[in-house]
Amino acid sequence: MDRLSDLAPRFTLAELVDRLADGSPRDRGLVQRVCECLELFAAFLELEGTTAQGLIDVVATLQVRDGVSLLVTARHPDLPGEWTWKVKEGDFPDVWLHRHPEAVTEACLFCVLDFDVAGRKVLLPTGDPGTATARSIVGGVEHVRVRLTDGSVYTFASADVVFLDEAGDSPKPAS
């Protein structure tokens, strides 16, 4: 996983993706590996422009839906509201990261938001049925966002959600 040491101190997200792909399929597994690598080095990484703009609470989400995008949200301590920046995978060569030798003051949180489970019927630990809307991975922990029949939405640990297959046979555990 120490693929960052081979990259220059300033590198693009596309370079990191290419390095981690290393001939393997460019699929959801690669998105997860990229996020794991970024999380591993998060204390030493800066997403270019965020520090210069004085942004804090920076969250960089690799979003998987009809392709991959980077969605960055943050806020400025002196301004109301949030700052949001969305970049499609084709523009990853223009997304720069800096690897610092010392820990950065305001580390970025890296995560994955994947819509691969959207629409799948689930059974919750409470026995309630629901419909999955998305899967997230934050800090290496996977969660499933579920809409209940009353319209309320909750997030559950992936291990606590059972996906029901479309044929109505026996429940299948979350992946």
1 falls in which pLDDT band (50, 70, 90)?
A: very low
172, pLDDT greater than 80? no
46, pLDDT greater than 90? yes
H/E run at residue 31: helix 28-40
Q: What fold, for 121-173?
A: OB fold (Dihydrolipoamide Acetyltransferase, E2P) (2.40.50)
Torsion 43-136-140-97 (CA) sign = negative
CB 140 within 8 A of CB 38: no
- Share the mean pLDDT of the chain: 90
pLDDT tens, residue by residue, 65-89: 999 999 999 999 999 989 999 999 9
Residue spans of beta strands (DSSP E) within the chain: 10-12, 45-47, 56-64, 68-75, 83-88, 96-99, 109-114, 121-123, 129-138, 141-148, 153-157, 162-163, 172-173
Report the pLDDT averaged over residues 34-48. 93
Q: How far apart are CA 63 and CA 70, in angstroms?
A: 6
165, pLDDT greater than 80? no
DSSP 57: E
Q: What is the pTM of this model?
A: 0.86
Q: How far apart are CA 174 and CA 143, in angstroms?
A: 10
Task: Point out the least confidently predicted range of 24-28, 49-53, 62-66, 118-122.
Answer: 49-53
Q: Where are the domains of the chain?
A: 3-112, 121-173
- Amino acid letter, 53: Q
Q: How far apart are CA 23 and CA 145, in angstroms?
A: 32
3-state secondary structure of 21: helix
